[in-house]
Amino acid sequence: MKAKGDLEKAAQLFQLALDLYHEDLYHETSVIHQTATAAYYENLSAFKADLGLLEDAIAASAEALKIRRRTFGDKDADTKRRMEVHRSLLKNLFGIS
């Protein structure tokens, strides 16, 4: 009978250790998830800020190109080059041709 009692006690201790392991695992997973989520949103905010700057730069480039075309016309070599750079930028970034 003593062996059966020892076995039951060992099973209870094993179950307790298993429960503690799962609790620790859940906690660690939760901490990792929270950290990853925070990093994701931080990176997303930085990406949105970069995207905003990129949109501003493209808008400024387009406006400068309009002014240049009005001033020098479409036949000017530098204007043609700038138009090609602007088109290439839009194509490479957004697939716009």
Torsion-angle region of 76 (φ positive above 0: left; ψ -120 to 50: alpha; else: beta): beta
Per the structure, the complete domain to which residue 82 belongs is given by 2-94
Give the C-alpha separation, 50 to 25, whole Å. 37
6-46 pLDDT, tens digit each: 778 877 888 888 888 888 877 888 888 888 888 888 888 88
Number of domains into which the chain is organized? 1
What is d(CA 97, CA 91) in angstroms, rounded to the nearest whole number?
Answer: 5
Query: 0.75 exceeded by the pTM?
Result: no
Name the 3-class secondary structure at 75.
coil
